[in-house]
Amino acid sequence: MRHRGLETDGIAPYLFLAPLLVLLVLFILYPVTMNLLASFTEWKGYGPQKWIGLSNYEKMFQDQAFWTSLLNTGIFVLYIPIGTAFTLFVAALMRESIAGWKTYRAILYIPNLLGYVIMGVIFSIYLRDDGILNALIRWVTGAPVHFLIDPVLAVNSIGLILVVWLHLGFGIIYFLAAMNGIEKSIYEAAIIDGANFWKTFTNVTVPSIRFAVEFFVVFNFIEVFARMFSFIYTLTQGGPGYSTFTLEYGIFAQGFQKFQAGYASAWSMVLFVFCAVISTVQIRLMQRRDA
């Protein structure tokens, strides 16, 4: 991106941008703005809207499902450092060109390929009380683990699978590419100095790819706050009860299952604030990296 004097390309750039901008205004900007208005109304999602002031927000703050959604999101966030550290560790092992690493990398990428809907349904079968994982567990302990029936286990299963497990393949490719950019001589010097794997991992590898690590963390925040719906919809459908709700799932449940779109819009505004913060952090990171 460069500026050559004050000369501009006139109207042409705006014409080139027009298709994108029209779509963005219609499908993102306008919806976000209308959500704000809708959050002050009683509305089914169709038909008339009735202005009710802050009632939706008052109702939301007394709604146990809303607080559960926030708490669950907090639990998922706690899995982010675990997932990031684990992914970095596995990528660093693969960087040592261990035998078969390309095959491992390809297999671990499969979940990223299949997407949240297929993976959600796959895990809904896999984690059932009479599923294959429990067939193995019963073999060892004699009793099944109620992964999707016990509320606490269900939330943590989602956190572990979505945040730590499903992005492993994506993170490995991403980190390996970043690690490729590290000067080989730094490693050689470290090894001559007698540094072992752990020393080079903590002193060379991780500090050298700090930007990549930061972006991976932000990427995970985006997944947790803004991309989880399809997985929860297919794995637990928010249940048992509302114990695996997130803000996204709550919006779906209130807006499209109970037809309380006005109320769902109040939830949307809370989600909007979180996402605006994450988006700003991401832009700051980009500007700092490109500076």
Partner 1 sequence: MKKSSVFGPGAQITVQALMVVLVLASLLPLYNVVSSSFKSIDEFTVNPLWPPQKVVPDNYQYAAFSASLLQFTVNSIVYVPAAVVFYLAVCISAGYAFGKMRFALRLPLFLLVLFLSIFPQLLLATQVFKLISGLGLTNTGLGAVLSWVAYFAPFGTYIMTTYFAEMPYELVEAARIDGAGPLRILTKIMAPLAKPMTATIAIIGFQAMWNELPFSLLILQTQELRTLTVGIAMMRGEFGLRVPILSAALVIAMVVPLGIFLLFQRYITLGVTAGAVKG
If the CB atoms of residues 79 and 116 are measured against partner 1, the closer one turns out to be 116
Distance from CA of residue 236 to its chain's centroid?
17
d(CA 247, CA 253): 10
What DSSP string runs through 150-215? SHHHHHHHHIIIIIIITTHHHHHHHHHHHHHTS-HHHHHHHHHTT--HHHHIIIIIHHHTHHHHHH
Check binding of 65 to partner 1 (CB under 8 A): no
Return the structure tokens found at 126.
Answer: 């896999």
Contacts of 266 (CB under 8 A, 6+ apart): 39, 56, 57, 59, 60
Residues 153-212 that bind partner 1 (CB under 8 A): 168, 170, 173-174, 177-178, 184, 188, 191, 196-197, 200, 211-212
If the CB atoms of residues 55 and 109 are measured against partner 1, the closer one turns out to be 109
Q: Cα angle at 273 between 267 and 278, to 5 degrees?
A: 125
Determine the size of the site formed for partner 1 (CB under 8 A).
113
Check binding of 75 to partner 1 (CB under 8 A): no
First to last CA, the chain: 12
Site map 258..277 versus partner 1, x via CB under 8 A: ---x--xx--x--xx--xx-
Among 65, 70, 124, 149, binds partner 1 (CB under 8 A): 124
Stretch that binds partner 1, among 77-85, 131-139, 142-150, 152-160 (CB under 8 A): 131-139
Distance from CA of residue 251 to its chain's centroid?
17
Q: Which amino acid is at 8?
A: T
**Least distance between partner 1 and beta carbon 75 (Å):** 18
**Least distance between partner 1 and beta carbon 20 (Å):** 4
Stretch that binds partner 1, among 61-69, 74-82, 142-150, 232-240 (CB under 8 A): 232-240
Stretch that binds partner 1, among 2-10, 54-62, 76-84, 147-155 (CB under 8 A): 2-10
Site map 83..122 versus partner 1, x via CB under 8 A: -------x--x--xxxxxx--x-xxxxxx-xxxxxx-xxx
Return the structure tokens found at 180.
Answer: 């490729």
User: Contact 11/245 with Cβ under 8 angstroms?
Assistant: no
Check binding of 226 to partner 1 (CB under 8 A): yes
